[in-house]
Amino acid sequence: MSVIKFGTDGWRGIIAEEFTFDNVRLCAAAVARYLRDQGLAERGLVVGYDTRFASEAFGAAVAEVVTAAGVPTALLDRPAPTPVLSYAVVHRGAGGGVVITASHNPPQWNGFKYKPDYGGSASPEVVEVLEGIIGRLGDGGGLPRLPLEEAAKRGLLERPDPRPAYLEQVARLVALEGIRKAGISIVTDAMYGAGAGYLPSLLSGGATRLVEMHGERNPVFPGMSQPEPVGHNLQALFQQVVERRADVGLALDGDADRLGACDEQGRFLTPLQVFALLALYLLEVRGQRGPIVKSLTSTAMLYRLGERYQVPVLEAPVGFKYIGPLMTEHQALMGGEESGGYGFRGHIPERDGILSGLFLLDMMVKTGKTPSQLLQWLYELVGPHEYTRLDLPFAPARRPEVQRALDKASPARLAGLAVTGRDITDGLRFTLAGGAWVVVRFSGTEPLLRVYAEAESPELARRLVEEMRQLAGV
């Protein structure tokens, strides 16, 4: 049995290798023990799952174990986005939630995410406790299980539909009727994931036209390397936006907690651009104020907006297990990260790709601007900021060697710019004269080395990424 370690958000593994029914049951038993130890078991557990291969079966396995431990369980009656599961935890007052998903990973992966009672990612402290319980439990093969039919007879299992409560919540946060009446044209890509159907159901019934692509379930995710809403996976979306002369393209990742977008010309909007646009929307269009929480790999444009609107900008390591608690502690207006995940005050301290997309649409409607015009407006306020990212697969055995190379890296200049700062909070980050930055870090979810950079031009950002790749020796 593999050692189970939670990464940036939950535990993930290759199906039938690390990600087995026994290991999933072991995680479920640890959650049940955690809920009992924290005095939360009576409040129950919500269990959800995405559209990946066998996700509903893994979700049922979780329910069999936790109900056998006497924990009342709401096993959702259909695949659900992670933010929908997270909101269900809060709405029901449950002790916590589990969602079976590997989010944006390639199709051979699946995963186990735990959501505490506040509906966000499990904090490092919660993760440490869960991993400790898992280590003490041993083998998941001999754990007690209660058949779902028997659990239901005993009143320990229900099968609720999570959509109504979530849709009502979203309607409180966004002026949906204004978007429906606006008469804009939208193409969305559900990427065969759990978010399929949500945007069409929220926006139908008016003059606005919406076409959803890849809304059916297909665990192979054909035509894309993984259900991650980044440029190379969204070529079909870009093409449809151009062919249909749509005003915008929106994409959700496999569990719909991330948003991808393109403008009316089918040009990809980077997650850093979208983050800054959403911050501008809340600050300027809606006139709200409050701190903004960003991951260290996210855009420096937020600092410029923070100065302009006199709001603090706080920085955290990568992952909503760090961002979410800061949002809650400081009553932040929003939080976000480079991966396209954004969370908002008044909702849950968790990424929500559906709500993020609706906010972007509302910004277009309220300003009367196209996405390209919104980006031009943003750059007029903060200056040009161009971003690139490179994902580098590597043999896990080489990790110590790569880490040693990064530990030694301390260049005086990168891409011709003087290095003004070196930071090892999460990976290795260099800040450079003029405001550019570059980060290299190991992925918390896949065997990848990620290199990120933001600079005043695409060419400079690419040079920074390439020079960091050379320093890492990958």
pLDDT on residue 7 = 80
For 51-178, where are the E strands, in sequence order? 73-75, 96-100, 109-116, 157-158
pLDDT band at 469 (very low <50, low <70, confident <90, very high): very high
Q: Specify the residue for token string 């924990």.
A: 71
Q: Could you give the CA distance from residue 407 to residue 428 in angstroms, rounded to a whole number? A: 8
Q: Decide: 92 and 55 in contact? Cβ < 8 Å.
A: no
- pLDDT value of residue 443: 86
Reported as type and span, the H/E element at residue 179 is helix 176-181
How big is the chain by its Cα radius of gyration, in Å? 22
- The confidence band for 140, taking pLDDT boundaries of 50, 70 and 90, is low
Q: Residues with Cβ < 8 Å from 3, sequence gap 6 or more? A: none
Greater confidence (142 vs 219) lies with 219
Looking at residue 141, its pLDDT comes to 67
* Mean pLDDT, the chain, whole residue set: 95
Give the separation between CA 109 and CA 210, rounded to whole angstroms. Answer: 31
pLDDT at 41: 98
Residue type, position 57, single letter:
A
For tokens 């309607």, what's the residue? 171
Query: Which run of H or of E encompasses 465?
Result: helix 458-472
Model confidence pLDDT, tens digit, residues 190-203: 999 999 999 999 99
pLDDT on residue 1: 44
Q: DSSP alpha helices (H): ranges in 184-300?
A: 198-203, 235-243, 271-280
Distance between CA 305 and CA 294 in Å, rounded? Answer: 13
40 burial (CB, 10 Å; 0-12 / 13-18 / 19+) is middle
Q: Which two tokens stand for residue 222?
A: 């054909």
pTM to 2 decimal places: 0.93
DSSP-based helix, strand, coil % in the chain, nearest 5:
40, 20, 40
Q: Is the dihedral of CA 465, 466, 472, 474 positive or negative?
A: positive
* Domains of the chain, each with CATH number or no CATH: 11-162 (3.40.120.10), 174-382 (3.40.120.10), 386-472 (3.30.310.50)
Q: What is the per-residue pLDDT for 9?
A: 84
Residue 188 in this model has a pLDDT that exceeds 80: yes
Residue 365 is encoded by which pair of tokens? Answer: 């409607």
Residue 8 has pLDDT above 80, yes or no: no
Render pLDDT for 435-460 as a digit per residue (tens, 0 to 9).
999 999 998 777 889 999 999 999 99
Cβ distance 350 to 83 under 8 Å? yes
